[in-house]
């Protein structure tokens, strides 16, 4: 499963500088937490499923260690992206959940993600993310996985903003021999675009488009599953280049 592959790769990346942050294992853990919160909330208040999903996701994304985290304690002001990772984070350590200003960013991207996938990947409809976007700090990054409806394929969106200029150093695939660089070019706005294909044999085929903006914003659109994949480079590039996938 691609989730297992991503988990292995991301755990390895956490030992590097700057640490990676988005971890599908954390997604799975928080999915279970979300389900528990939803069940208890249904018993307590009998609210509709849609309202509960929004409320429970907000609680989960607040980043507290227990189930009684207060959404109102989150900072909602934007900050400038740092030039380096947190120096206090030990090698291999998991970065802290959330970053200053992440609450409104997460809320906006949770709404935008499925809608933009449908917009840029014709015919691809995804199930709601079980956890919503998960935000980490050191450096600020946000990501989640979506399962494609009626298919075994998976779409991942991942955004990282570590620096205030072109940030090729945060290319998570450059040193991974399981991924082949299939193309690199420069967009009309100056952004660098790299396309990777999963060239290993252990997991499902995958196509990844990574956009490196001049402002330091790095956006990934990742599609994986049994061939034929439901979208190609052009569609994934359009998704990664959408101006809504920024923070």
pLDDT tens string for the chain (247 positions)? 444 444 444 443 333 333 445 555 555 555 555 444 444 333 333 332 333 222 233 333 333 333 333 333 233 233 444 444 566 777 777 788 999 999 999 999 999 999 999 999 999 999 999 889 999 998 999 999 999 999 999 999 999 999 999 999 999 999 999 999 999 999 999 999 999 999 888 788 999 999 999 999 999 999 999 899 999 999 999 999 999 999 9
CA distance 231 to 207: 9
H-run or E-run covering 114:
helix 102-120
Question: Cβ distance 218 to 167 under 8 Å?
Answer: yes
Quote the crossing angle between the two packed helices 49-61 and 24-45, to the nearest 10°: 130
Given this model, what pLDDT does residue 138 score?
A: 87
CA distance 2 to 24: 10
CA distance 34 to 23: 16
Given this model, what pLDDT does residue 27 score?
A: 58
CA distance 66 to 236: 37
Given this model, what pLDDT does residue 24 score?
A: 53
Residue-wise over 47-82: b if at least 16 C-beta within 10 A, else e?
eeeeebbebbbbbbbbbbeeeebeeeebeeeeeebb
Given this model, what pLDDT does residue 94 score?
A: 78
Question: Cβ distance 92 to 128 under 8 Å?
Answer: no
Question: Cβ distance 118 to 235 under 8 Å?
Answer: no
Quote the crossing angle between the two packed helices 49-61 and 102-120, to the nearest 10°: 130
Question: Cβ distance 81 to 161 under 8 Å?
Answer: yes
What does each C-alpha distance from 51 to 41, 174, 245 come to in angstroms?
Answer: 11, 41, 24
Given this model, what pLDDT does residue 199 score?
A: 82
Q: Which residues pair with 210 in a beta bridge?
A: 194, 220
pTM exceeds cut of 0.75: no
Given this model, what pLDDT does residue 83 score?
A: 45
């Amino acid at each position: 499963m691609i989730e297992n592959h991503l988990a292995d790769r991301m755990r390895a990346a956490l030992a590097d500088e700057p640490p990676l942050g988005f971890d599908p294992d954390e997604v799975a853990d928080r999915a279970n937490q979300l389900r528990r919160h939803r069940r208890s909330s249904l018993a307590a208040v009998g609210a509709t499923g849609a309202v509960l999903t929004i409320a429970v996701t907000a609680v989960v994304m607040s980043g507290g260690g227990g189930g009684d985290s207060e959404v109102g304690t989150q900072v909602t002001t934007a900050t400038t992206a740092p030039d380096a990772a947190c120096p206090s984070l030990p090698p291999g350590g998991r970065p802290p959940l959330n970053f200053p200003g992440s609450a409104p960013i997460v809320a906006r991207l949770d709404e935008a993600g499925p809608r933009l996938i449908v917009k840029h990947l014709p015919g691809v409809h995804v199930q709601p993310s079980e956890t919503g976007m998960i935000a980490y700090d050191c450096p600020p990054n946000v990501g989640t996985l979506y399962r494609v409806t009626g298919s075994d394929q998976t779409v991942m969106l991942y955004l990282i903003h570590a620096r205030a200029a072109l940030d090729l150093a945060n290319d998570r695939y450059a040193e991974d021999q399981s991924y082949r660089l299939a193309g690199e070019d420069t967009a009309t706005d100056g952004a660098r675009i790299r396309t990777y294909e999963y060239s290993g044999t252990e997991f499902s085929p995958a196509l990844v488009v990574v956009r490196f903006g001049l402002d330091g914003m790095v956006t990934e659109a990742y599609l994986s599953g049994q061939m034929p994949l439901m979208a190609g480079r052009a569609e994934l590039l359009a998704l990664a280049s959408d101006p809504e996938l920024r923070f």
